[in-house]
Structure 1
Amino acid sequence: MRRLLGGMDIGGTKCAAVIGEASEDGIDIVGKRSFPTPGTPEETLAALIAALAALLEEHGAGGGEAGTSVAASSSEACGRRPALAAVGVSCGGPLDSEAGLVLSPPNLPGWDGIDVLTPLREAFGVPAALQNDANACALAEWRWGAGRGTRHMAFLTFGTGMGAGLILNGRLYAGANDMAGEVGHIRMRDEGPLGYGKAGSFEGFCSGGGMTRLGIGMIGEWLQAGKTTLLPTGADAEQSLTARLIFEAAEQGDELAALIVRVTGIELGRGLAVIVDMLNPEAIVIGSIYTRQERQLVPVVLETLRREALPRSLAACRILPSGLREHVGDAASLSVALHALET
């Protein structure tokens, strides 16, 4: 019988339910449903359960309304009808993965100690597990992406924020209370853009929001020096500047945009050097912005790494873009489901 994995991604603005089938060659995304995040945790969980149940019914893996055991109805099916094996949940932290609790993430107001696993186990009758989004992406890249075949790997989100998921000695490492990998909080400079509640932090320099704040500050200084830029300025910068616009302007030869990209690349290289020296990984996989803008970032990142990291440690480590690229978010929750079956 085919074995399906179910996944749920809980975000501040959008949620998704997904089903997939894992094989030795990777992960096949069978179906997906996305929707804006509802107002309350209870509404969100009910909508995710209904979406996953609908996907399973749509793909012949059992039926029933949300709140019934889809796994039970699947097990009654004959022949080769696929069955749901486990459900994984990916959500921004902080959280308690062992207890299955979401603990007041900044982008999910009202999610204060919310049990997300009990409703899933009751609805589907299968194992369910929860991990923060960085850990979930690390598992996905390790199993099916750029980190496949490694025993020691780090994954960096480098998207809206900056966080890390760690695979050490062939196992996910979450730390004493699920706080391992919060590299975005590391202070890179005494002053700098705000990220993770700290000025000059790794997230402040190396995230979408951090790059925007860095750019706004540098635009003001640039204009005061009598120079021009393709980037939006003044009130327009506050409203419309994004990391994407910065990279696009740099690609067009804008001197200020190129300087902002260089500052980000330097701080990314310095942050990577800390990880290389501390963990001695075989690979550091970087998602989102790095995956899309690798060509512009690589020269300065590698230049900085060679200057900052221990040569022997760096020689053992590859710096790689996400192998799953834009699908890493879908694969992330499914990797948590597979992890639930193996632990």
Structure 2
Amino acid sequence: MARYIGIDIGGTKCAVSLGNEKAEVLSSVRFPTEGPEETVGRILDEAERLKAESDEPVRTVGVSCGSPLDPSRGIIESPPNLPGWDNVEIVRLAEERLRIPAVLCNDANACALAEWKFGAGRGCRNMIFLTFGTGMGAGLILDGHLYNGTNGNAGEVGHTRIERFGPVGYGKQGSFEGFASGGGIAQIAKTAAIEHLQRGGSVGYCRHWDELESVTAKSVAEAARAGDETAVRVYRQVGEMLGRGLSLLVDILNPERIVIGSIFQRSADLLREPMERVMKQECLPFSLAVCEIVPAELGDDIGNRAALTLAIDLDEH
């Protein structure tokens, strides 16, 4: 049986995993992300250790990281969540150290590939994966292939503007990411909380001014489920904007399935009704009729499994 190494580089933490041909994690180590020199050194040390300890030969390495990247040259260019990581030649460094082929891909595309092969997208030829976590990005499976675009930057749906004004995401006011992301939900909820606090009132997720900075998508969801009307309205607005963004994707790409991760996995009960209502209003009926919206299946381990799936895909091609 073959073995693979997956490297998941995030803004706050990195993970290095050893896995099998089903992208199941056999062994993994996680540690904080720091500067590029120190972190890459730690990544390669852990990858070399896992390779040496593997009970079967390790065939390839997959590296998943946030954009912007240059996948064709294997270079991490300058992701906003990785300050100082400018033009890091991660593929060359991994191949020289581990002496096996390596590949680099952005995290949304890697997750799309993993959900398509092993998760909620199995059996599809046209599938879209949406991250819907800290940010909003898409991975596109079109006609049975991962679509990267001309220079590897396809799927940056979070940057599209869906409203003239609104919360800021991806550096743009009113963007899809501004409304449909953890940070966006917190922005909308804080604005609503401030209005209540200024009038001497409060909301379930923020009863005092000193609680304002601790407002998160999770705390707002908990308040909504407890019946807080403001929290319910926040999630209704987010669901409507999610539906608006999805409508564009359905009309343009005509997918059979859209798989949504992170916040949608946890809060579909709050988001689905307003999302579907808007999609029925906005989508071409014949395109919407063949598309289902489902939560991701791979759960909290998707980062590790996505990086491993990149390695498997490289080995297969």
Category of TM-score, reference length = shorter chain: over 0.9
What residue is the counterpart of 2:256 in the other structure? 282
Counterpart of 2:233, as a letter, is L
The partner residue of 1:152 within 126, 129, 136 is 126
Provide the C-alpha distance between the structure 2 equivalents of 1:45 and 1:148, rounded to a whole number of angstroms: 33
CA contact (8 A) 2:202 2:208 kept: no
Show the 5 A alignment for 1:284-299: 284-299=258-273
Cα shift readout 1:43-87 (whole Å, capped 9, x = no counterpart): 211111111222233343xxxxxxxxxxxxxxxxxxxxx110100
Is 1:46 the counterpart of 2:20? The answer is no
Counterpart of 1:37, as a letter, is T
Q: Which runs of 5+ in 2 are unaligned?
A: none
Show the 5 A alignment for 1:97-246: 97-224=71-198, 228-233=202-207, 235-246=209-220
Tell me the secondary structure at the aligned position of residue 31 of structure 2.
Answer: strand
TM-score by length of 1: 0.89
Show the 5 A alignment for 1:298-309: 298-309=272-283
Provide the C-alpha distance between the structure 1 equivalents of 2:188 and 2:116, rounded to a whole number of angstroms: 32
What residue is the counterpart of 2:27 in the other structure? 31
CA contact (8 A) 1:214 1:260 kept: yes
CA contact (8 A) 1:128 1:337 kept: yes
Provide the C-alpha distance between the structure 2 equivalents of 1:284 and 1:143, rounded to a whole number of angstroms: 14
Shift of 1:224: 4.8
What residue is the counterpart of 1:73 in the other structure? none
Cα shift readout 1:101-120 (whole Å, capped 9, x = no counterpart): 11111111111111000111
Shift of 1:323: 1.2
Cα shift readout 1:11-65 (whole Å, capped 9, x = no counterpart): 1111110011124xxx3211100001132x12211111111222233343xxxxx
Is 1:56 the counterpart of 2:55? The answer is no
Counterpart of 1:337, as a letter, is A
Is 1:13 the counterpart of 2:12? The answer is yes
Indicate how the Cα distance of structure 1 residues 50 and 42 shifts in structure 2: closer, same or farther if over 3 A, else same. Answer: same
Provide the C-alpha distance between the structure 2 equivalents of 1:232 and 1:246, rounded to a whole number of angstroms: 9
CA contact (8 A) 1:184 1:203 kept: yes
Cα shift readout 1:98-151 (whole Å, capped 9, x = no counterpart): 100111111111111110001111122211100011000000001100001111
Provide the C-alpha distance between the structure 2 equivalents of 1:234 and 1:129, rounded to a whole number of angstroms: 49
Provide the C-alpha distance between the structure 2 equivalents of 1:199 and 1:233, rounded to a whole number of angstroms: 27
The root-mean-square deviation of aligned C-alpha atoms, in Å, is 1.4
Indicate how the Cα distance of structure 1 residues 59 and 342 shifts in structure 2: closer, same or farther if over 3 A, else same. Answer: closer
Is 1:311 the counterpart of 2:285? The answer is yes
Provide the C-alpha distance between the structure 2 equivalents of 1:7 and 1:302, rounded to a whole number of angstroms: 36
Provide the C-alpha distance between the structure 2 equivalents of 1:107 and 1:167, rounded to a whole number of angstroms: 25
CA contact (8 A) 1:155 1:285 kept: yes
Counterpart of 1:5, as a letter, is Y
CA contact (8 A) 2:3 2:54 kept: no
Provide the C-alpha distance between the structure 1 equivalents of 2:316 and 2:212, rounded to a whole number of angstroms: 47
Tell me the secondary structure at the aligned position of residue 113 of structure 1.
Answer: coil
Provide the C-alpha distance between the structure 2 equivalents of 1:222 and 1:280, rounded to a whole number of angstroms: 42
Tell me the secondary structure at the aligned position of residue 29 of structure 2.
Answer: strand
CA contact (8 A) 1:222 1:256 kept: no
Shift of 1:339: 2.0
Tell me the secondary structure at the aligned position of residue 21 of structure 2.
Answer: strand
Tell me the secondary structure at the aligned position of residue 307 of structure 2.
Answer: helix
Shift of 1:233: 5.0
Is 1:86 the counterpart of 2:60? The answer is yes
Provide the C-alpha distance between the structure 2 equivalents of 1:28 and 1:288, rounded to a whole number of angstroms: 19
Counterpart of 1:221, as a letter, is E
Counterpart of 2:218, as a letter, is R
Q: Size of the alignment, in residue pairs?
A: 317
Cα shift readout 1:299-332 (whole Å, capped 9, x = no counterpart): 1111111111111001111101001121211111
Tell me the secondary structure at the aligned position of residue 213 of structure 1.
Answer: helix
CA contact (8 A) 2:193 2:202 kept: no
What residue is the counterpart of 1:79 in the other structure? none
Larger deviation: 220-229 or 84-93? 220-229
